[in-house]
Amino acid sequence: MEQIMSGIIQRDAHEREFHQALREVLDSVKPVIDRNPEYRKQAVLERIAEPERVVMFRVPWVDDQGQVRVNRGFRVEMSSVIGPYKGGLRFHPSVTLSIIKFLAFEQVFKNSLTTLAMGGGKGGSDFNPKGKSDGEVMRFCQSFMMELFRHIGPNTDVPAGDIGVGAREIGYLFGMYRKLRNEFTGVLTGKSLNWGGSLIRPEATGYGAVYFACEMLAVRGQTIEGTTCLVSGSGNVAQYAVEKILDLGGRVVTLSDSSGYIYDEEGIDAEKLAYVMHLKNVLRGRIHEYADKYPGAVYTETDPELDHNPLWAHRADCAFPCATQNEINEKDAANLIKGGVTLVCEGANMPSTPGAIDLYMEHGLMFGPGKAANAGGVAVSGLEMAQNSMRLHWPREEVDQRLRQIMKNIHKTCLDAAARYGKEEDYLDGANIAGFVKVVNAMLDQGVV
Ligand code: NDP
Ligand code: 2IT
């Protein structure tokens, strides 16, 4: 296994995030490989670590001043062994091939856990939508789709949103796809309601993460009611995580963006959350404006010199990282533990560094890893695909009920897989093992292709 890992590191030395995601899965599945010598002969690790296809392309577009700009587009089609490639698009200046590969790799196992027929992929661009006009975003999305359309399709690859890609971007992308193909199909998920979207898709990742946290708490005879929660981010996932925590009687005291975070000792209530949703989704403002509106809250700017994020040092019971990868390092994890946190549930993808995860484990925290805890988003994307195929719309209650059941099932799948390998309550190993075994067995069934 070490040989495989070092071969991959040597070949693509700069892909740090991809190596981090791969290392975590390899560590978890080591006992599975040991029990199944056939896996070695079939080179399942080498196969699963190599994307089926990588597409990289130029995205030229014209800004409002008439200046031509060029960004780089990506789509990593990691595995289609259990269904069409499925996974979001991220528009953020930090996007690199390594970031997209790590996300596509995680997506394979996450999608497998949902029990729906979806393979794994991810895409995006280093385009920064911040500060761009609607016209600029539209022209960028159109140019992006002018290349992407030839690689995707409702039975081939079905993208969706991620950081920097929400309803507005999905609309522009879908419009261009429809024009180019002269076809109205469910080729993207996260669509708006009146042209093929599903109820609960916007809420699904945040709600699902909280449902997963409730399942973990229930194992220890606890509930989320009355707990104090730290939430990071203030985008799609964070907003609906907060909404569900409030619904269930929890208290949320933080939110953030890449510029800083707010701490609201009185708690972010439903009215304040409605303000945040308007601020972020309509005005496209910054979280520091929350502290201007609600003077009881304190805003702390991000200090790039600091080796930790003070958001994680506040006293609380539960933490929901919902911003981005590696946002909780070892020092932050130590602060969480010092501050009384006993549950970390990942709304974001890979928000905890390996050192942070080691600390959670050492201290017996309930830890819901992203590929299990945030699978509700892609699960409802799968339900959107199902509704599109039937040309039907399910009511809100039905989709929410299905989401809740899927999160319950994922939780149980993780617990059972972990227990089979003597790792009681280890959701990380459980998620990795369960996701891995299903994909690898499907791969073996289908031969060397
Ligand atoms: P949004 O773009 O809606 O929000 C992202 C939030 O995270 C913003 O508050 C943003 O702040 C912050 N953020 C982004 N990059 C950084 C960074 N480098 N440092 C600090 N803060 C940052 O995205 P989502 O809410 O959709 O995604 C959040 C996380 O959840 C991501 O990890 C994503 O992969 C994951 N996820 C999303 C799903 C979905 O359905 N949308 C499904 C499953 C997982 P700023 O405005 O300053 O950039
Ligand atoms: O990381 C993720 O699971 C997503 N961004 C959602 C993917 C999807 O296809 O809905």
Q: What is the pLDDT of residue 1?
A: 86
Clarify whether residues 64 and 33 are in a common domain. Answer: no
> Would 193 be classed as within a structural domain?
no
HSE-up of 383 (CA within 13 Å, CB side)?
Answer: 26
> Would 255 be classed as within a structural domain?
yes
Q: Which of 86, 101, 110, 122 is catalytic?
A: 122
Clarify whether residues 66 and 24 are in a common domain. Answer: no
Domain count for the chain, please give it: 3
- Tell me how far CA of residue 284 lies from CA of 166, 234, 235, 291, 379, in angstroms: 12, 11, 10, 16, 27
Mutate to test the pocket of ligand 1, among 17, 90, 158, 162 (most ligand atoms within 8 A of CB): 162
Q: Using a 6 Å cutoff on CB, does residue 257 contact ligand 1?
A: yes
Which residue owns the Cα nearest ligand 1 atom 37?
162
Which residue owns the Cα nearest ligand 1 atom 42?
377
> What CATH number should be reported for the domain holding residue 57?
3.40.50.10860
Which atom of ligand 1 is found nearest the CA of 160?
40
Q: Using a 6 Å cutoff on CB, does residue 161 contact ligand 1?
A: yes
> What CATH number should be reported for the domain holding residue 293?
3.40.50.720
Q: How far is CA 38 from the centre of its chain?
A: 32
- Tell me how far CA of residue 224 lies from CA of 81, 245, 369, 425, in angstroms: 37, 7, 18, 18
Q: How far is CA 236 from the centre of its chain?
A: 11
Residues in the chain: 449
Clarify whether residues 231 and 324 are in a common domain. Answer: yes
- Is residue 203 a contact partner of residue 236, using CB atoms and an 8 Å limit? no
Q: What is the pLDDT of residue 222?
A: 98
* Residue 65, domain extent: 51-184
> Would 425 be classed as within a structural domain?
no
Helix (H) or strand (E) holding 319: strand 318-320
Helix (H) or strand (E) holding 31: helix 16-35
Clarify whether residues 8 and 125 are in a common domain. Answer: no
122 is catalytic: yes
pLDDT tens figures, 39-57: 999 999 999 999 999 999 9
Phi, psi of 48 (to 5 degrees): -75, -20
Q: Is 232 helix (H, G, I), strand (E, B) or coil?
A: coil
The C-alpha atoms of residue 313 and residue 303 are separated, in whole angstroms, by: 15
The C-alpha atoms of residue 27 and residue 169 are separated, in whole angstroms, by: 37
Clarify whether residues 156 and 274 are in a common domain. Answer: no
The C-alpha atoms of residue 71 and residue 144 are separated, in whole angstroms, by: 9
Clarify whether residues 246 and 343 are in a common domain. Answer: yes
The ligand whose atoms approach the alpha carbon of 235 most closely is 1
The C-alpha atoms of residue 27 and residue 21 are separated, in whole angstroms, by: 10
Residue at which a domain ends, from 323, 339, 373: 373
Residue at which a domain ends, from 312, 345, 373: 373
Give the pLDDT band (50/70/90) at residue 224: very high
- Tell me how far CA of residue 68 lies from CA of 8, 134, 139, 368, in angstroms: 37, 16, 11, 44
Give the pLDDT band (50/70/90) at residue 120: very high
Clarify whether residues 354 and 339 are in a common domain. Answer: yes
> Would 261 be classed as within a structural domain?
yes
Q: What angle do CA 368, 161, 234 make, to 5 degrees?
A: 60
pLDDT cut 90: percent of the chain above it:
100
Pairing of strands 260-264, 318-320: unpaired
- Is residue 93 a contact partner of residue 128, using CB atoms and an 8 Å limit? yes
Give the pLDDT band (50/70/90) at residue 395: very high
> Would 106 be classed as within a structural domain?
yes
- Is residue 56 a contact partner of residue 72, using CB atoms and an 8 Å limit? yes
Clarify whether residues 287 and 140 are in a common domain. Answer: no
Clarify whether residues 219 and 257 are in a common domain. Answer: yes
Residue type, 81: V
- For the chain, the distance separating the N- and C-terminal CA atoms, rounded to the nearest angstrom, is 22
Q: What is the pLDDT of residue 259?
A: 96
Is residue 81 over pLDDT 90?
A: yes
Tell the burial category of 238 from Cβ atoms under 10 Å away from its Cβ (0-12, 13-18, 19+).
buried
> Would 408 be classed as within a structural domain?
no
Clarify whether residues 23 and 75 are in a common domain. Answer: no
Convert 347-368 to b/e letters by CB count within 10 Å (16 or more is b).
bbbbbbbeebbebbeeeebbbb
> Would 180 be classed as within a structural domain?
yes
Query: HEC string of 242-298?
Result: HHHHHHCCCEECEEEECCEEEEECCCCCHHHHHHHHHHHHHCCCCCHHHHHHCCCEE
pLDDT tens figures, 227-249: 999 999 999 999 999 999 999 99
- Is residue 366 a contact partner of residue 425, using CB atoms and an 8 Å limit? yes
Clarify whether residues 43 and 60 are in a common domain. Answer: no
Ligand 2-lining residues (CB < 6 angstroms): 86-88, 107, 110, 160, 162, 189, 349, 377-378, 381
Tokens of 247: 């619904």
Mean pLDDT over all residues of the chain?
98
Average pLDDT over residues 315-333: 98
The C-alpha atoms of residue 396 and residue 183 are separated, in whole angstroms, by: 27
Mutate to test the pocket of ligand 1, among 324, 384, 403 (most ligand atoms within 8 A of CB): 324
Which atom of ligand 2 is found nearest the CA of 118?
9
Q: What is the pLDDT of residue 277?
A: 98
Tell the burial category of 425 from Cβ atoms under 10 Å away from its Cβ (0-12, 13-18, 19+).
middle
> Would 430 be classed as within a structural domain?
no
Is residue 197 over pLDDT 90?
A: yes
Q: What is the pTM of this model?
A: 0.98
Clarify whether residues 212 and 134 are in a common domain. Answer: no
